[in-house]
Amino acid sequence: MFRRFIIISLSIFSGWAWGQNTQKDFEKELKVQNSAIQSLRNEIEATKKRIQSEGRKEKTSARRVSNLSEEISLLQRLLNEIDKEERLLVADVSRTEKRIEQSEIELDTLRVRYGRRLTKMYKKGQLSNLEKILSSTSWRQAVYRTKYLKIISDIDQQTHDTIRSLLIEIGKQKLALETALRRKRKLKKDREQTLSSLRNKKRKEQRELAKIRQSQKELKGYLTEKQAGVKQLETIIKKIQDDIARSEREARIRQQQQALQSKSFSKLKGQLNWPAEGRVITKFGRQWNPKLKTTTENPGIDIKGKPGSEVTAVLGGVVTTITFIRGFGTTIIIDHGSGYYTVYSHVTNVQTSQDNQVRSGDVIAYMGDSGSINGSQLHFEIYGQGIKLDPEMWLRKR
């Protein structure tokens, strides 16, 4: 009997301790998520203010559409972060319900056993604790009986107190989580309404894109903006290369490669999987524009595909950057170690976060038209040791 008490009590106390640790982990994760959401909110507000200040001097259709695309991109990222926080809350509510259920089962087990004991005492009669001690055949037996009866009594009381306290505490936590969940769902609904409004505005602005395609002046303005985007991207890559956290990322990438037994980027020329399904509409390098009679430099390749089709990482690495670049829209940069980076632009509905570790084939976003005047496409680049590389030389032949 005594051993059964000990086993049940230990299981209750260890379960309670595990629940406390789980709750701490959840709170830490939720704090990180809240920080990411607040950071995005601050970025959205700063972008709105900049767009408002630029509104009076922005005359071109391309720039107005680009401004809207940037704001939509930030809101989409915010919605993704809100989704993650909502999933955290849902999971914690579920864990809380299971803990409550388990605690109630343990409490019922104790009640049943105590009920049987009382029934037995009522039917057959039972000596009091004092009588048990006095009826001992030796002083040693009396000492042991006194000790065990005290331990059992303490465990009984401690078990009841622990379970009741735990049920009360978990009940409070569940109410708080359900309140937070309702609040986050409302916030998500508000953001979705805002996003819908912005998409409507963008559709109106996209009508002006027809003017860009017809007007040489507007098209030249768009190409100028895109070249500015190329310089912006080069600056970001250089900043990543100079980043003090690079050595830590390199170590994480090496560990990942060892765990997956995968080769380094430099040894995979011509073996990388394609980042998206579709056909290459613009190749790497110098491109002649017959309409404008000008030559431009394409730092990567453009893949035309179905709107909403998957965009995947071509190799494992660490996501260093998710940002909006003029002329390229929402852009993701992945560090693959040893000075190799891949760039994915014009994407939508980003499925990863900065500093996340991704593996080859992981879906990181979906094909969209963010920052594009040619509809849904993926702009893909590869940098190696600070040099722009022709992606088609590194991707599998198909």
Distance between CA atoms of residues 198 and 57, nearest Å: 21
Distance between CA atoms of residues 371 and 54, nearest Å: 18
Angle, helices 216-242 vs 246-260, to 10°: value is 90
| SS3 category, 277 | coil
For the four alpha carbons of 384, 386, 390 and 391, in that order, the dihedral sign comes to positive
The answer on pLDDT for 175 being more than 50 is: yes
| Contact yes or no for 330/345 (Cβ under 8 A) | yes
**Helical residues (DSSP H) of the chain, grouped into ranges:** 2-55, 61-124, 129-134, 139-214, 216-242, 246-260, 391-394
| Contact yes or no for 86/185 (Cβ under 8 A) | yes
Q: DSSP letters along 12-24, please? A: HHHHHHHHHHHHH
Distance between CA atoms of residues 330 and 281, nearest Å: 19
Mean pLDDT of the residues in the chain: 77
Neighbour tally for 29: CB within 10 Å? 15
Q: For 264-283, write each residue's pLDDT tens digit.
A: 899 999 999 999 999 999 99
Tokens of 368: 């969209």
Distance between CA atoms of residues 371 and 324, nearest Å: 9
Q: What is the mean pLDDT of residues 254-268?
A: 87
The answer on pLDDT for 130 being more than 80 is: no
Distance between CA atoms of residues 192 and 79, nearest Å: 8
Q: What is the mean pLDDT of residues 375-396?
A: 93
pLDDT at position 2: 42
Count of alpha carbons within 13 angstroms of residue 395, beta-carbon side: 22
pLDDT at position 1: 46
18, β-bridge pairs: none
| SS3 category, 183 | helix
Distance between CA atoms of residues 121 and 126, nearest Å: 5
| Contact yes or no for 331/325 (Cβ under 8 A) | yes
Tokens of 335: 């560090």
Neighbour tally for 153: CB within 10 Å? 11
347, β-bridge pairs: 367
Reported confidence tier of residue 74, pLDDT bands at 50, 70, 90: confident
Q: What is the mean pLDDT of residues 317-331?
A: 91
Q: What is the mean pLDDT of residues 273-295?
A: 86
Q: Hey, which of 15-29, 59-73, 141-155, 285-299 has the most confident mean pLDDT? A: 285-299
Burial pattern 71-108, b for ≥16 Cβ within 10 A else e, equals bbbbbbbbbbbbebbbebbeebbebbeebbebbeebbe
Q: For 112-129, write each residue's pLDDT tens digit.
A: 766 665 566 556 554 455
* Percent of residues, the chain, with pLDDT higher than 70: 69
Task: List domains and CATH numbers for the chain.
Answer: 1-214 (1.20.1050), 226-398 (2.70.70.10)
Q: For 191-244, write each residue's pLDDT tens digit.
A: 787 778 777 777 776 776 666 656 666 666 667 777 778 888 888 888 887 786
Reported confidence tier of residue 155, pLDDT bands at 50, 70, 90: low
